[in-house]
Chains A and B, each alone.
Chain A
Amino acid sequence: MIYKKRRLLPGGDRAFFIELGDTIDPELHRRVRQLMLTLQEVKLPELVEIVPTYRSLLVCYDPGCINPEKLRAKLAILAEKTKVGKLPETKVTEIPTAYGDEYGCDLKFVAEYNGLSPEEVIRLHADKVYLIYMLGFIPGFAYLGGVSSRIETPRLPTPRAKILAGSVGIAGNQTGIYPAESPGGWRLIGRTPIELFHPEKEPPALLQMGNYVKFVPISAEEFNRIREEVAQGTYRVKETLYMQRNYSGSI
């Protein structure tokens, strides 16, 4: 649920949580994002960084600059003033994805588990536009919501020791892309040749909270061609504007 009144919770002697709710919910996400934007605009000098998540913001501060009581009061006023209005435009990032075979070794399992054909799984997965709720787990990893209930599949009982960068997986009602080689327990259905995290870029992550992801099925030939273009630095990620509705209310 979304709390009627936000909660300011202690995170030790250098951080606070501003918690706005306790669920995974697009409306709650919008409020987190709105408050993130307010705090970024105000640029309080005592803040070190802000970590937005599904339902809260972790506000890290420098206790040498302000005492926690004063900061608490400042944050309360800022949160009070922040109204849920029209957020800045967001974009949809296209993720070209080769499904099945050597790209997604669990596609068959996901299909059988849900009583579908592999083609239907691909269609259901690529049909949707997924909201990026937050980043975490490993650098550049985006938590995406809104997987069709028809392709939900539980995690592997034992995680794999090595998953290739770019792998696209499903875990329960979540889907995600591994930005780097990593161990992991998600069911792999495909793989993208594009780069999701680059430490030299600013920002380093291709995907950002509040934006959207759309998977676009590609062939093995396209996979190789795009991979080549990414290596040459000539690949342009396709992005389109996301049309949003207006919202109102207060945080």
Chain B
Amino acid sequence: MEVFEVVQPGLLTTVQDKGRYGYQQYGVPVSGAMDSYALMVANLLVGNSEGDACLEITVLGPRLRILGDTLIAITGADLSPALNNNPLPMWEAVKVCYGDTISFGYPKRGCRSYLAIAGGIDVPKVMGSRSTYIKSRLGGLEGRSLRPGDRLRSGATRVEFSASKLPSQYIFEYKAENELRVILGPQDDYFTERGIQTFLHSEYRISVQADRMGYRLEGPPIEHKAGADIVSDGVPPGAVQVPGDGLPIILLADRQTTGGYVKIATVSTIDLTKLAQAKPGDRVRFLRVTEEESYQLLIEYDRIIDALKQHIQYNDK
């Protein structure tokens, strides 16, 4: 059914799901939600599958008119969401009715909000995903961000109503200073010992060149042994690439599939969700972890997610 009409689109509002996998070998970026955790929670709260398509809302949110009674949930950044001009609670399912208006105000914390709708946003799947990749006009709504007058539909809903409010331990804090855990490699051997020490012991500021493709950082340059160029190879999510100027770039959802600059390290999955909420001017430090430690982090993260799923299911009954 048609669920809402876009009155104002906001700064950058796109349809994103968990991402487009299996097509990187053809040069197609993965895309998908920058904050995969917030996407998942929003979906679970309205009874969707965890990777369903939501709206990813960036800094300044849209104004949406509701066209049919349904259930929504907003997670991620606090961009002062409102329902008919009254504050709209986040991290819980909220019933909305025909004629209601959802709007956003001042960005309080974080950078990207996720709005899930019961049944998920129904746009055609392109190469297995509904995620928008604007640069190549792929997926989402005609491969672009939302515009005034757009009408979006939802898929078949799975639950009637749920009012579960998420306990605070499942709501991540967004800070202006973040420690990002990294696994060194694949090309850490292209840097001098001093370069590695600079990388691990300096504070970097997120520059204004920060978007879905990647974040350019400002701070002390990292010393290469002999140049920054390599024969191109693949680029995992969170790869920290260091071009000739020595300033790191963290590659994110819309990153190119291959790259020819050396990569000093890769940010852990769990910390990428924090980074997705960081803004230009925010600061990051890198903390080295071993492969084993990062695996333990993931196991811990999975445990949180399992407990969260159980909590939501329990509340549904």
**A51, B257: Cβ atoms closer than 8 Å:** yes
Chain B residues within 8 Å of chain A by Cβ, number: 43
**A9 interfacial by beta-carbon distance below 8 Å:** yes
B302 at the interface (CB under 8 A from A): yes
Q: What are the residues of chain A within 8 A of B231 when measuring CB–CB? A: 22-24, 53-55
The verdict on A46 contacting chain B, using a C-beta distance below 8 Å, is no
Q: Report whether B258 and A22 are in contact in the complex, using a CB–CB cutoff of 8 Å.
A: no
Q: Which residues of A contact B256 (CB under 8 A)?
A: 136-138
Partner of A53, one of B28, B232, B269, B302: B232
Which residues from chain B sit less than 8 Å from chain A, CB to CB? 21-29, 126-127, 135-136, 138, 183-187, 230-239, 256-258, 266-269, 291-292, 294-295, 297-298, 302
Contact with A17, one of B138, B186, B257 (Cβ below 8 angstroms): B186
The smallest C-beta distance from A115 to any residue of chain B, in angstroms, reads 28
A-side interface residues, number (CB < 8 Å): 47
Describe B's contact surface by its main secondary structure.
mixed
Tell me the residues in window 22-66 of chain A with beta carbons closer than 8 Å to chain B beta carbons.
22-24, 48-58, 60, 63-64
- Structural contact, B233 and A135, CB atoms closer than 8 A: no
Q: Are B27 and A139 in contact (CB under 8 A)?
A: yes
Provide the bound-state CA to CA distance between A140 and B266, in Å: 26
With a cutoff of 8 Å between Cβ atoms, the chain A residues found around residue B135 in the complex are 138
With an 8 A cutoff between CB atoms, is A204 at the interface? yes
Q: Counting CB contacts under 8 A, is A15 at the interface?
A: yes
State the CA gap A135–B135 with chains docked (Å): 17
B268 to A, closest residue via Cβ: A13
Q: Report which A residues bind B (CB closer than 8 A).
A: 9-15, 17, 19, 22-24, 48-58, 60, 63-64, 67-69, 134-141, 143, 180, 197, 199-200, 203-205, 208-209
Are B233 and A49 within 8 A (Cβ)?
no
A sample of 16 cross-chain residue pairs with beta-carbon separation below 8 angstroms, ordered by A number, consists of A12-B237, A12-B267, A14-B236, A14-B269, A17-B233, A17-B234, A24-B231, A48-B21, A51-B24, A53-B233, A58-B233, A136-B27, A137-B258, A138-B256, A180-B136, A209-B25
Q: How far is the CB of A60 from chain B (nearest CB, A)?
A: 7
